[in-house]
């Protein structure tokens, strides 16, 4: 911990490949957009000596948010890895986007990490989505710590924010969320604000002053000790209550002074097993400074308190045919099991895969087996192929630094895996294995697109396949009913990034068009029709007459054809022709151009000619008969209805239910769940929920989530159906 250092050794240098899993720490940064994650990563890299004082790597770029899209949008949109070295420990820092649209990148970071740093802005506090991620981490026992940033903001209050964090994250035990340091304030300025210039170590009772640009240790003055005692005693009690030594609390309450070494060891063990969640403060280095406030303490926490990869349970592993396979955690000599946690395309080296190795050792130029889960519904093909590993490297900004191997517990980039996608497993070619996939959020915002020009049309298919290979949270749909290409995204920002990547990375310009819902048509009541197709123009003619009756059927029945012809009025060989013509016309629709469903068509009578009747003639007559029956009948337009489940905080239940009602929804019921949330189940027309992913986020301040599934088609309200028909007429 920061308290353990008496003299910090200075810049520890850049990280290369690790030689032993015990010398690796994998930590993911979590926090809402604008909380300061990326700035914190750069401050840690500066303190560790991985970048120069300007916060730049050798090529002049930054270590994170180096993507052109990130520069243009001024926010993180993808997972990035920044490896640094601190006192001989390689720390793989995984910086994740804070915006909800890129939660897929966050989940990938959680999968690759062994511990999480929750970054909380002192000026913004804790939002609902950050609370939800904390609960996810708690469910799997992931060790966590909290870093409070933006202490330079006006009215920023470290003590108050620590209380807020304890309330938000310590529902079961608020005394498990406690600060290790208190801020040390400098002289008060003209505006009455006293800037934070250092930290007070509660365990060592030392002052760590960063005001000079470098960390300097000193003893507190007598007037400062009383302010420290209360917080220090509470911290010690919190540590001791999580100690595995059950006698420690009795000894402490009996007046015994517990030595510092014992307290630090117990603290580190409690943090590593996810039982205690320390709160720290951090700030970027001032211009020309060598260290940012709190960065030394944070690096010491990561190396001393966070677990090694040995303590990370290996996700469930099976053979490719589904048989369970026991894999020893982090065995460098065991069978190769690695996972692609991110896929990116580089204009010079092609596809680059960020890989976490869970077992074995990965080496360049060896052949591995690539196993994939498919996810055909999202446009991802299944994988079961052998591929040759290209060059191995560790990323740093835009640079790729070559490494000779990657051991279990470490992360690195693999070049030129042409088939592997995010979520795929790499294993030995003679021992193919498959890892259980991590949970992917379901994309629920449709984006209908079409190629801007003929040149773009030629490149669209390849561009889209590469796009979805990089991002498993995106789903590609070729809708057979509406003939639209639809990208399903997590939100508007996600959609914007997808379009930008198509344009700038793959050279494909597309136009966004209104998303169409798959409507259907059906008959409201019985009707009859006569199809007469008679043509004579010299030579062989065409002759076919058929009479039909159409009646509606229950939803989901499809098209039912019944033959009731008697006396051979329609020869037996032409009855299938009539049915074929009717079904072809039903596919095209009879009123507004949508597929006809849920009717029974009965062939009652007809006429044929011994010479001029043919298969084609009776197909045409069948189609004409169906169109005539429709002309004399009331036709319902059917719209798809979705079954929607919304998980929302109790504070927003009323607003969500009211909104669903305004969307012509029928609320089926509610169910109380854990964590002060309610599950609302409803049926809502799909016409009304095209943008529900965006609207619900706004309505619930990002705390609600929903799922949807197709329920059935049912008649639209007449006034809406009439609008649709008018639109079809205008377009034709």
Mean pLDDT of 571-577: 95
pLDDT band at 256 (very low <50, low <70, confident <90, very high): confident
Rounded distance, CA 520 to CA 356, Å?
Answer: 47
Mean pLDDT of 487-496: 93
Q: Is the pLDDT of residue 10 over 80?
A: no
The two three-digit tokens of residue 82, written as one number:
């920044």
Q: What is the pLDDT of residues 499-549, one digit of tens each?
A: 999 998 889 999 999 999 999 999 999 999 999 999 876 667 899 999 999
Q: What is the pLDDT of residues 177-228, one digit of tens each?
A: 999 999 988 887 777 677 888 999 999 899 999 988 889 999 888 877 777 8
The pLDDT of residue 1: 46
* Residue 510: closest CA among 467, 561, 452, 431: 452
Residue 497 falls in which region: left (phi positive, over 0), alpha (psi -120 to 50) or beta: alpha
Cβ of 210: how many Cβ atoms within 10 Å?
A: 24
Average pLDDT over the chain, rounded to an integer: 88
Percentage of the chain beyond pLDDT 70 is: 91
Q: How many residues does the chain have?
A: 732
The pLDDT of residue 56: 52
User: Residues near 481 by Cβ (< 8 Å), separated by ≥ 6?
Assistant: 518, 595
Percentage of the chain beyond pLDDT 90 is: 60
Measure CA of the first residue to CA of the last residue in the chain; give whole Å.
72
With H, G, I as helix, E, B as strand and everything else as coil, classify residue 628: helix
Domains along the chain with CATH numbers:
2-218+267-309 (3.40.50.300), 317-435 (2.40.30.10), 445-513 (3.30.70.870), 520-633 (3.30.230.10), 638-731 (3.30.70.240)
The pLDDT of residue 624: 97
Q: Is the pLDDT of residue 712 over 90?
A: yes
Check if the beta carbon of residue 559 is closer than 8 Å to that of residue 597. Answer: yes
Rounded distance, CA 109 to CA 319, Å?
Answer: 25
The two three-digit tokens of residue 107, written as one number:
């989940």
The pLDDT of residue 313: 84
pLDDT band at 373 (very low <50, low <70, confident <90, very high): low
* Between 130 and 18, the higher pLDDT residue: 130
Least confident of 284-288, 668-672, 686-690: 284-288
Cβ of 124: how many Cβ atoms within 10 Å?
A: 17
Rounded distance, CA 396 to CA 14, Å?
Answer: 9
Exposed / middle / buried, residue 669 (Cβ in 10 Å: 0-12, 13-18, 19+): exposed
The pLDDT of residue 3: 38
Mean pLDDT of 104-133: 91
């Amino acid at each position: 911990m920061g308290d353990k250092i008496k003299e910090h050794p200075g810049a520890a240098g850049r990280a290369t490949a690790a030689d032993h899993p015990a010398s690796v720490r994998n930590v993911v940064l979590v926090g809402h957009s604008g909380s300061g994650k990326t700035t914190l990563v750069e401050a840690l890299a500066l303190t560790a000596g991985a970048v120069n004082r300007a916060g730049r790597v050798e090529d002049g770029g930054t270590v994170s948010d180096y993507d052109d899209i990130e520069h243009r949008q001024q926010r993180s949109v993808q997972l990035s890895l920044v490896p640094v070295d601190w006192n001989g420990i390689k720390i793989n820092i995984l910086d994740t986007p804070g915006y909800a649209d890129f939660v897929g990148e966050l989940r990938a970071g959680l999968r690759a990490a062994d511990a999480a740093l929750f970054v909380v802005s002192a000026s913004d506090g804790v939002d609902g989505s950050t609370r939800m991620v904390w609960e996810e981490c708690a469910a799997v026992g992931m060790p966590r710590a909290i870093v409070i940033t933006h202490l330079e903001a006006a009215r920023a209050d470290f003590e108050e924010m620590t209380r807020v964090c304890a309330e938000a994250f310590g529902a079961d035990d608020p005394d498990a969320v406690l600060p290790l340091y208190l801020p040390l304030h400098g002289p008060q300025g003209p505006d009455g604000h006293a800037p934070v210039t250092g930290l007070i170590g509660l365990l060592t009772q030392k002052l760590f002053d960063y005001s000079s640009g470098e960390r300097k240790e000193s003893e507190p003055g007598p007037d400062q000790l009383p302010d420290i005692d209360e917080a220090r005693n509470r911290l010690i009690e919190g540590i001791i209550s999580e100690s595995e030594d059950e006698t420690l609390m009795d000894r402490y309450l009996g007046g015994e002074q517990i030595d510092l070494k014992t307290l630090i060891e117990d603290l580190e063990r409690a943090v590593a097993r996810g039982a205690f969640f320390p709160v720290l403060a951090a700030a970027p280095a001032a211009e020309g400074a060598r260290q940012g406030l709190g960065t030394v303490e944070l690096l010491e926490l990561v190396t001393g308190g966070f677990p090694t990869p040995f303590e990370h349970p290996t996700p469930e592993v099976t053979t490719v045919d589904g048989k369970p396979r026991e894999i020893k955690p982090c065995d460098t000599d065991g069978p190769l099991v690695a996972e692609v946690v991110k896929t990116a395309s580089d204009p010079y080296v092609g596809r680059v895969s960020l890989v976490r190795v869970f077992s074995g050792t990965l080496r360049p130029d060896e052949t591995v087996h690539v196993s994939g889960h498919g996810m055909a519904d999202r446009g991802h093909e299944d994988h079961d192929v052998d591929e040759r590993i290209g060059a191995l490297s560790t990323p740093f900004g835009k640079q790729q630094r070559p490494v000779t191997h990657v051991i279990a517990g470490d992360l690195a980039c693999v070049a030129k895996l042409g088939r592997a996608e995010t979520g795929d497993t790499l294993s030995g070619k003679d021992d193919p294995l498959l890892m259980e996939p991590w949970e992917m959020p379901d994309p629920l915002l449709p984006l209908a697109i079409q190629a801007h020009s003929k040149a773009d049309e030629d490149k669209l298919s390849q561009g889209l396949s590469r796009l979805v290979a990089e991002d498993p949270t995106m789903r590609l749909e070729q809708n057979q009913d509406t003939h639209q290409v639809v990208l399903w995204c997590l939100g508007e920002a996600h959609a914007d990034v997808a379009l930008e990547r198509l344009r700038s990375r793959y050279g494909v310009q597309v136009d966004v068009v209104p998303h169409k819902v798959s409507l259907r048509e059906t008959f409201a009541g019985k009707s009859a029709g006569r199809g007469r197709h008679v043509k004579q123009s010299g030579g062989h003619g065409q002759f076919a007459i058929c009479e039909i009756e159409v009646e509606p059927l229950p939803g989901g029945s499809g098209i039912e054809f019944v033959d009731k012809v008697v006396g051979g009025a329609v020869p037996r060989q032409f009855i299938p022709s009539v049915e074929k013509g009717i079904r072809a016309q039903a596919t095209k629709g009879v009123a507004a151009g949508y597929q006809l469903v849920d009717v029974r068509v009965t062939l009652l009578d007809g006429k044929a000619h011994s010479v001029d009747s043919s298969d084609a003639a009776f197909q045409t007559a069948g189609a004409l008969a169906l169109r005539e029956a429709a002309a004399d009948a009331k036709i319902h337009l059917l719209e798809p209805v979705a079954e929607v489940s919304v998980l929302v905080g109790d504070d927003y239940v009323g607003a969500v239910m009211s909104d669903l009602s305004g969307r012509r929804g029928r609320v089926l019921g509610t169910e109380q769940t854990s964590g002060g949330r309610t599950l609302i189940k409803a049926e809502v027309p799909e016409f009304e929920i095209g943008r529900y992913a965006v609207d619900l986020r706004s309505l619930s301040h990002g705390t609600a989530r929903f799922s949807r599934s197709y329920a059935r088609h049912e008649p639209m309200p007449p006034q809406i159906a009439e609008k649709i028909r008018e639109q079809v007429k205008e377009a034709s």
